[in-house]
Amino acid sequence: MKKGSVINSDISRVIAQMGHFDTLAIGDAGMPVPVGTEKIDLAVSKGLPSFIAVLKNVLTELEVQKVYLANEIKTENPEVLAQTLALLDGIEVAYIPHEDMKRNLQPAHAFIRTGEMTPYANIILESGVTF
C-alpha cells in the first residue's frame, strides 16, 4: 500500500506522469470540464471533499512553480482565496479571467472535481522541477 499523502490512485498516477510546465487543475463541483480532459471526480456530497482539503493534499506531492486563479475569486470568494494563498508559500500566483481558466483546462493532464459549492474555487497548478 502506498505510504504517501496522496493515496487516490488516479491523482497519484497523474502527478507521477507530469513534467515541467505540465498542468493539473482542481475545482468546484460546477466547473465545466472540456471533452478530452480527464476528470477525476472526488465529489461525494455538497462540500465533501472541500477544494482546500484536496489542494492541500495535492501540494504535498506535486512540485508547483506557478498557479492560476480566476480574477473573480478576489471579490466573489475572498475566504477561499485567503485559504488558498496561505497554502501556496512563495509559489507565483497569476490571476486570469474565469473564461480563460475554463479554456486552459483543455491541455491539463486532469481536472480534479471536488464537492466544493462556492464560486470560483478553481485553480490550475503548473508543475515545476525538483532539481
Give the three cell numbers for residue 16.
507521477
28 is in an annotated binding site: yes
Residue 122 assigned to a binding site? yes
Contact 105, 111 (CB under 8 A): yes
Show the cell assigned to 23.
498542468
Task: Provide CB contacts within 8 A for 82, sequence distance 6+.
Answer: none
Task: Identify whether 109 is a catalytic site residue.
Answer: no
Give me 75's grid cell.
Answer: 471579490
Query: Catalytic one among 9, 20, 21, 103?
Result: 20
Type of residue at 106: Q
**98 among the known binding-site residues?**
yes
Query: Which residues have a Cβ under 8 Å from the Cβ of 9 and sit 6 or more positions away?
Result: none
Binding residues: 28, 98, 120-122
The catalytic residue positions are 20
Binding residues for substrate: 28, 98, 120-122
